[in-house]
Amino acid sequence: MQTFLITGGAGFIGSNFILKARKEQWANIINLDKLTYASNPLTLAELQDDSGYNFVRGDIGDIELINNFLDQHQPDAIINFAAESHVDRSILSPQDFIQTNVLGTFQLLEASRAYYEKLSAQRQKQFRFLHISTDEVYGSLTQTDPAFREDTPYAPNSPYAASKAGSDHLVRAYYHTYGLPTLTTNCSNNYGPRQFPEKLIPLIILNALNGKPLPIYGDGQNIRDWLYVEDHCEAVYLVLQQSSIGETYNIGGNNEQTNLAVVEKICALLDELAPKPNFHYSSLITFVKDRPGHDRRYAIDSSKIKQDLGWEPKESFDSGLLKTIQWYLNNSTWVEQVQSGAYHTWIQQNYGDRKAALSH
């Protein structure tokens, strides 16, 4: 069985990928993660007795650690999920995003190049470096613009998006300059189980269950394309196994929704799944001051990955959202662990001074 080095595997998408990889026996997994605020030890607890899974705490920016790590474990592929990923945090603290997403990716590429050059010719043919990125690198769309394609020019509008754009360009450069066999995927907004509740869907679910306001930026008409995390994980594995080196693929959910529609759907499902007498969760919806540079619309054209590799999402937004809400309702211990004091401090920092513009 192959061995994959997963960076950032304690995060939302990385942990879901690892769990699926071990369940489906895709590969043995080595998980390198520095365990930031968004990590929860419970997320991967079910693998603690799995001999095909190893965890090492470390930073992708520590090149000496990475060099030793690669020499020791000899992975057949590296999948780089490691990233600072929250736009609001990037607005308040952009330096962290440059450090991890740009400089960290650079150090990981440098270590990977040195490792790759020492491999046998046969192992070089098999080795891949797969970089996980975002649709936010493409900027913002109007209501009538066509969806992002792989050849859409980059136009990032937030420090987060700019840092991911920088990392994408470095990955491309290491393929063209050094021959490192790289792949890049750019995904739309992921949702599903085990997502840290700073992101819209888990934030709304947990605030609603706790009777707290459901904050919506601006007029709530910002549009995102929502991708169920398990569909994304299957696409990533397919790209790793079947794509030609140097390729880039956009991975989307074919589910464009306004933020307001997402929140209203969550409220309607919670009215059914966790009803309260004479109460509708939608009464908690609160419009708050918009964030700076808030992109109006993202949309992904996934026709290339469908045509080349036969992938398309299995979950509709409604089916994926139902699964997501049921997971949060059924995993209260995980939720309690992730909502630490640091989490409450962040929520206050980001939302506390955004006076409600309207109530709905």
Choice among 84, 136, 168, 247 that is catalytic:
136
Find residue 179's DSSP bridge partners: none
The identity of residue 132, as a single letter, is: I
CB 207, CB 243: distance < 8 Å: no
CB 257, CB 224: distance < 8 Å: yes
Find residue 102's DSSP bridge partners: none
Choice among 53, 115, 116, 160 that is catalytic:
160
Phi, psi of 166 (to 5 degrees): -60, -40
Q: How many other C-beta atoms are found inside a 10 Å radius of the C-beta of residue 159?
A: 22
CB 87, CB 291: distance < 8 Å: yes
Q: Is the dihedral of CA 170, 101, 61, 108 positive or negative?
A: negative
Residue 135 is among the residues annotated as catalytic for this protein: yes
Residue 160 is among the residues annotated as catalytic for this protein: yes
The identity of residue 154, as a single letter, is: Y
Spatial separation of the C-alpha atoms in residues 157 and 177, rounded to whole Å: 28
- Residue 343 class from Cβ within 10 Å (0-12 exposed, 13-18 middle, 19+ buried)? middle
Find residue 28's DSSP bridge partners: 3
CA distance to 267, 288, 356, per residue, from 285 (Å): 9, 10, 10
Choice among 135, 198, 225, 231 that is catalytic:
135
CB 269, CB 327: distance < 8 Å: no
Spatial separation of the C-alpha atoms in residues 302 and 285, rounded to whole Å: 32
Q: Which two structure tokens, joined as six digits, stand for 348?
A: 């206050």
What is the β-pairing status of strands 77-80 and 53-57? unpaired
- Active-site residue list: 135-136, 160
